[in-house]
Every structure is written in structure tokens, then in C-alpha cells.
């Protein structure tokens, strides 16, 4: 009995010491010393936001990973497995990474329920979101993504006593050091590494030796270098290796075959598979498919009807533990540079005149200048200049008030608008980016009190305004418009080949998109009797694409399956998809005339009809349907290619991948049959 009392007393002392250490860490974090200030209250909002954003840190890790790769010799070709053997792929995943790093730097935290959050447990509101928690906290029901106010009671004694949950702030420098140490140990084993995040990667170790023995050694090296544990799954593909990791956490390793992975997957919900989010899960559920086993056994036609042909085939294969994805080496040229912000973006009704705006005034114009400063800094780090600039703005929906979640600082329900412009000369100048961004903001004519930040586009999530800059030696202008939308949330991926700005947190911001990026903007093309005419698209990427493909690309007699024809087709599809999404959104908002004002040359006849339609919502929607019918007719011209029948399915899937704001319109168009060939 005395031993138990002594043990309890010892634990109580250790817990008290840990709480004092956590309080000291919070006291040393500048952004926790005062209440959180909005963009309209702080002259250093952007700098403070990016310095404290977990999502920004995670997003910017790709650049750190590229820096590591740049110091490595070129990777040789992937080794071929020996006869009778399969490829050996490792999935390396650090356990509770942020929480483990905290324990590594303060061992007294070990064995205690620990959470990493910007929240303060002494503040009653408890709006902080938990980014990482220890397994001791998980055993009590705490989960990543949980609000602090909900997590604290789970770690109390149930008698009204204080919570035992130890809450520490982020330590981004320590995370970066540990992540780099982990990656360098993996690269010492094999040059074939795919970085997923700061705490997760894949490594192909085919021909390097016994995979399980290699995993044991690698885990020991990572533990010695970082004082953190890693779990490693091994399989013939990335998917199987990932499933193996989930089966051996924490601090374990395991190897699985496709058959073993299939058995583990069968009872799991379909959301356990990569590529299945809320939209695809809902579509599969409507088809009576809830588990991976049901998905693997479902008829191909039923799955295709639910989520599209290409996506359906891929997801059915995943459900059966088959992964046909090619290995992607990391050394890819970056097509976008960006910064994002959506949390705490608030402005007064009127901003200063641009010419009279003073440093630190906290108006929307000053915010755009802060975003320009951040993008210029990132361009400088990358040693690049931009050829185009885009501003993507989230506008609060009419009647929407500040959200209660996230302390009333979230962006809430928004519509997403965008504008972009091509530059005559490349630039990385902060002043140039600021001037261009301010002009684009003025062109959007949005009440400043309705601005909610900067964003990439992702279904059901996002933030609010984005300055994006495609860079490199490009002759193509950036597409002039794009669209998106969605509810409250953060993070996201770009829609369009170039995508939105990279490296942002909280789902929005200043970003640099590629030729087809910048918020899903379209490129220029127009129909003709014989084929697609590019006469009105001087300098656009489609014209360059046509030159590189040769005359075969524009010939109606092009041979079926021609690679040049398919490449040209892909470009046209991207152009049409972007145009249609913009039209659908603007028509729904009864702004049909404005819908195509920034998309010259895109299916010119339909565009001119929309411009003549003015603000009539019903007429604009009818014109949009007509435009879809024209696209359907265009699609029939490709009936002889080996991708026949998939053209409209690709487009349907693209619509599904866009946020909720477009879905009602897309659903109506499906109902009237305009999407079907």
C-alpha cells in the first residue's frame, strides 16, 4: 500500500513538473501572450500567421525536401525484382510526431497524456485545435483535430479535479530538424524516396537486402538521431506498405502481401483508402457501398456510375489492395509558389485609398501588400521570377456572421472568386506584386468587410484570398479566371494543372499557379468546322502545346491513339472544364455577363452569348447548358481515340472534385442529361 502511495505521489510530482514546463513553453511563445488579432488589427498579420501556422509548416516541407534531394546524387533507375520476387516498398511514419518531439526535448513528458496545440488550457473558451497527441492521451479518448475544450475533461479524474492533459505549443524548428534527420537516414538506405510530409515517406528498397532486417536497422537509426519512434510497413506497393504500417503502430514494423492487405482492408470503411473523401464516400454510400470489401466486390459498372470511370477503376483496385501507381521520383520542377491565409481575416467596411494607404493601417490593401511580401520572399528563396499573378478571394456569403468555431476567427461559409493577369516581363519584386495584387482586388469589387482571406480550392474546405504567381521561362499568360467555394475549414489543393499556391496554411493565401493553375483557370480555344481553331489564342499554352505536338494534333484525321492527339485533347479538356465551372458558378450567382469576361476565346460563340445575357440568372443558366451541349458535340469528334467514351466522365469527375458551391449546379446539369454523350 505504501509503495502504491509513493508511486502515486511520484507521478503527481512529475505531472506538476510537466505542467510547469508546458506553461513555461507557452509563456515563451509570443503569439500566446495577447489575444489573437485579426488582419485588420495587426500590421504584421501575414508574418505572424505564417510563422505560427501548422498547415503552413507542413505545406512548406516540400521545399525543404527538395533541398535535401538537391544535395543527393542523381537516383539510378529503380532496380528490377529478381525472378519470383516482388518489389519491396517501405512506408516510414513517425509516431505522434509533434508530441514525440516534445517528449524528446523534455523527457518528463514521457508517459503522460500530452497534446500539441496553440490553445491555452487555462482559458475557458478552449478554441485551440489539437494537432498531435501522445498515445497516453489517445487512450483516454483524445484525438487529433479535437478542440481543446473537449479534450481536457477526458483527462480528468471525473471528480471535478484538474485535467492531467499536458498542453504544449508548436516547436517548428525542432520538428524541421527531426524530420530532416529522419529523411537523411532513409536516403542513406536508398536513393528512391518519395516524401509525403515532414513525418512520412515511402522508400523503395528492392534489392537492398532483407526488408524486415533493413526496417529494424532503419528504425534504430531514426530513434538514435531524433529520439523519436518510427513505424515501418513493408509491401509490394505503396498502398500495401501503408496498410502494413497502420497494422503495426506504434513503434513497430510488419510486412504484408496483397492478400494479407486485402483481408485487413475488407471490413474497413471506404474512407480508409487514399483518394476517398466526403464526396466520393457519399456517392459510394448512395450505391450501397460502405466497406472496402464491398467496394472490391461491387460490379465495375456500379462503381463507375457512382464516382466516374477512371476514379472508379482506381478505387476498386485499391479496395482489392492492388496499386498500379508508378513510382514518382521527387525531383520535379515546381509549377507554383504561394502563401495562404484564412484564419482571422477581417477588415472594416472601408479601406484607405490605395495612394494614401499607410504602413500598418490594417486595411485590406495593407493585407494584400503583406501577402505580396511573403510571395516575393518565397520567390527569392526559390531563385525564380513569375510570369503571371493571380488573386483568389473568398467572399463571405450574404448574411453570414463570424463563426463561433475557432474563436470566431474562422472564415465561415464563403464564395470563392479569382482574377489573374499575365506579365509582360518576369518579376520577383515585392512592389510589383503588391501593385498588381491591388489592381486585381479593385477589379473584383468586393466589399472589404466581406473578405475572408486567401485559398486553394478543395471540396468542403478552404479559406479566402490568394495572390498566385506562375514562374519560370514561360510565354503563356495565366488564365484570367477560376472558381471555387466551400465551407469552413483549411488547407486544400489547387484545381487546374498548375494548382493553387503552395506552402500555405489554413487553406488560403498568396500562391503561384502554373499555366493551367491559378485557381482552375482555363486556357483559350475555340471550335471550328474541321477541328479546334487556335487562331484567337496567341501566346496561350494550347498554342505552344499544338506546336510541340505537330500538325497531327489539330487534324480531324489524326490516327486513333496518337500521343500528340491525346496531349492536345488533355489541354482542351482542362480548358473546357475550367470554363464550365466558372459559368456554372456565375450563372447560379446571377452574374452571367461577368462569367466569361476574363476568359477570351473560350468557345467564343457560347462566351459571346453569355456576355449578351447580362445579369439574368435563368438565361445565363440556359446559356451554360447550351455551352455544355456544345462541349458534348466537341467530345464526339474524338470518338475514334482509344480514350473514347471517357471524355465526359473525366469532366464529371472534375466537377465532383470541386467544392460544394458548384455541386448543386453540376447536379442540375447531370439531371438534364447535358453531360452524357
- By the 10 Å C-beta count (0-12 exposed, 13-18 middle, 19+ buried), 561 is classed as exposed
Do the beta carbons of residue 515 and residue 498 sit within 8 Å?
yes
Task: Give helix 647-656 / helix 617-636 axis angle, nearest 10°.
Answer: 140
584: enclosing H helix or E strand: helix 563-588
Residue found by looking up cell 473525366 in the block: 650
Is 574 in contact with 497 (CB distance < 8 Å)? yes
Rounded CA-CA distance 616/338 in Å is: 36
What's the residue count for the chain? 677
End-to-end CA separation in angstroms for the chain: 79
SS3 letters for 588-600? Answer: HCCCHHHHCCCCC
The neighbour count for residue 51, using CB atoms within 10 Å, is: 13
Q: Which of 434, 436, 433, 428 is nearest to 378 (CA)?
A: 428
Strands 253-255 and 230-235: parallel
The continuous run of DSSP H or E covering 92 comes out as strand 89-94
Task: State the catalytic residues.
Answer: 200
3-state SS assignment for residue 635? helix
**Alpha-carbon gap, residue 309 to 43, rounded angstroms:** 50
CA–CA gap between residue 436 and residue 455 (Å, rounded): 18
d(CA 312, CA 306): 8
The answer to whether 312 and 289 have CB atoms below 8 angstroms apart is: no
The CB density around residue 297, as the number of other CB atoms within 10 Å, is: 13
Q: What CA–CA distance (Å, rounded) separates 624 from 13?
A: 69
Which SS3 state, helix, strand or coil, does residue 488 take? coil
Question: In 428-511, at which residue ranges do the beta strands (DSSP E only) sit?
Answer: 465-468, 483-486
Amino acid at each position: 500500500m505504501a509503495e502504491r502511495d509513493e508511486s502515486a505521489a511520484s507521478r503527481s510530482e512529475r505531472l506538476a513538473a510537466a505542467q510547469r514546463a508546458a506553461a513555461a513553453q507557452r509563456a515563451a511563445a509570443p503569439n500566446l501572450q495577447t489575444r489573437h488579432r485579426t488582419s485588420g488589427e495587426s500590421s504584421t498579420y501575414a508574418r505572424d500567421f505564417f510563422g505560427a501556422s501548422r498547415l503552413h509548416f507542413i505545406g512548406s516541407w516540400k521545399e525543404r525536401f527538395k533541398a535535401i534531394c538537391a544535395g543527393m546524387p542523381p537516383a539510378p533507375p529503380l532496380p528490377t525484382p529478381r525472378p519470383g520476387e516482388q518489389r519491396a516498398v517501405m512506408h516510414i511514419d513517425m509516431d505522434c510526431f509533434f508530441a514525440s518531439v516534445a517528449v524528446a526535448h523534455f523527457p518528463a513528458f514521457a508517459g503522460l497524456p500530452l497534446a500539441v496545440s496553440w490553445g491555452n488550457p487555462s482559458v475557458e473558451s478552449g478554441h485551440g485545435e489539437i494537432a498531435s497527441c501522445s498515445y497516453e492521451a489517445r487512450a483516454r479518448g483524445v484525438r487529433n483535430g479535437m478542440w481543446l475544450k473537449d479534450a481536457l475533461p477526458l483527462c480528468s479524474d471525473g471528480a471535478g479535479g484538474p485535467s492531467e492533459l499536458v498542453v504544449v505549443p508548436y516547436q517548428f524548428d525542432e520538428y524541421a530538424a527531426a524530420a530532416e534527420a529522419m529523411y537523411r537516414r532513409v536516403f542513406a538506405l536508398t536513393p528512391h524516396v518519395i516524401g509525403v510530409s515532414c513525418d512520412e515517406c515511402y522508400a523503395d528498397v528492392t534489392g537492398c537486402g532483407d526488408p524486415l532486417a533493413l526496417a529494424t536497422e532503419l528504425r534504430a537509426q531514426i530513434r538514435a538521431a531524433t529520439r523519436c519512434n518510427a513505424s515501418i510497413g513493408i509491401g509490394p506497393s505503396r498502398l500495401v506498405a501503408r496498410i502494413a504500417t497502420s497494422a503495426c503502430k506504434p513503434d513497430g514494423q510488419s510486412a504484408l502481401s496483397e492478400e494479407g492487405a486485402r483481408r485487413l482492408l475488407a471490413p474497413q470503411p471506404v474512407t480508409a483508402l487514399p483518394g476517398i473523401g466526403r464526396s466520393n464516400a457519399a456517392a459510394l454510400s448512395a450505391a450501397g457501398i460502405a466497406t472496402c470489401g464491398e467496394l472490391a466486390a461491387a460490379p465495375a459498372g456500379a462503381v463507375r456510375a457512382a464516382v466516374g470511370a477512371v476514379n472508379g477503376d482506381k478505387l476498386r483496385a485499391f479496395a482489392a489492395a492492388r496499386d498500379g501507381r508508378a513510382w514518382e521520383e521527387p525531383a520535379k520542377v515546381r509549377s507554383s509558389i504561394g502563401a495562404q491565409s484564412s484564419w482571422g481575416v477581417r477588415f472594416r467596411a472601408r479601406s484607405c485609398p490605395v495612394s494614401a494607404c499607410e504602413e500598418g493601417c490594417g486595411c485590406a490593401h495593407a493585407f494584400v501588400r503583406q501577402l505580396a511580401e511573403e510571395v516575393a520572399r518565397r520567390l527569392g528563396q526559390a531563385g525564380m521570377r513569375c510570369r503571371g499573378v493571380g488573386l483568389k478571394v473568398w467572399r463571405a456569403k450574404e448574411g453570414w456572421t463570424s463563426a463561433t468555431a475557432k474563436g470566431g476567427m474562422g472564415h465561415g461559409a464563403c464564395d470563392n472568386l479569382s482574377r489573374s493577369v499575365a506579365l509582360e516581363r518576369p518579376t520577383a519584386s515585392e512592389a510589383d506584386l503588391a501593385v498588381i495584387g491591388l489592381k486585381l482586388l479593385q477589379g473584383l469589387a468586393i466589399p472589404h468587410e466581406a473578405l475572408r482571406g486567401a485559398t486553394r480550392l478543395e471540396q468542403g474546405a478552404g479559406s479566402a484570398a490568394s495572390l498566385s504567381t506562375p514562374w519560370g521561362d514561360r510565354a503563356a499568360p495565366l488564365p484570367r479566371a477560376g472558381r471555387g467555394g466551400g465551407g469552413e475549414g483549411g488547407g486544400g489543393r489547387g484545381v487546374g494543372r498548375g494548382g493553387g499556391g503552395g506552402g500555405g496554411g489554413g487553406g488560403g493565401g498568396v500562391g503561384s499557379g502554373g499555366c493551367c493553375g491559378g485557381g482552375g483557370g482555363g486556357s483559350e480555344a475555340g471550335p471550328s468546322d474541321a477541328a479546334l481553331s487556335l487562331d484567337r489564342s496567341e501566346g496561350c499554352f494550347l498554342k505552344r502545346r499544338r506546336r510541340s505536338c505537330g500538325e497531327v494534333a489539330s487534324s480531324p484525321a489524326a490516327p486513333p491513339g496518337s500521343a500528340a492527339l491525346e496531349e492536345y485533347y488533355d489541354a482542351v479538356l482542362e480548358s473546357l472544364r475550367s470554363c464550365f465551372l466558372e459559368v456554372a458558378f456565375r450563372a447560379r450567382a446571377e452574374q452571367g455577363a461577368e462569367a466569361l469576361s476574363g476568359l477570351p476565346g473560350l468557345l467564343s460563340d457560347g462566351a459571346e452569348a453569355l456576355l449578351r445575357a447580362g445579369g439574368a440568372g435563368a438565361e445565363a443558366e440556359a446559356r451554360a447548358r447550351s455551352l455544355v451541349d456544345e462541349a458534348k458535340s466537341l467530345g464526339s469528334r474524338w470518338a475514334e481515340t482509344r480514350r473514347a467514351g471517357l471524355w465526359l466522365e473525366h469532366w464529371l469527375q472534375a466537377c465532383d472534385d470541386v467544392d460544394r458551391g458548384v455541386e448543386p449546379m453540376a447536379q442540375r446539369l447531370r439531371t438534364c442529361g447535358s453531360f452524357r454523350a
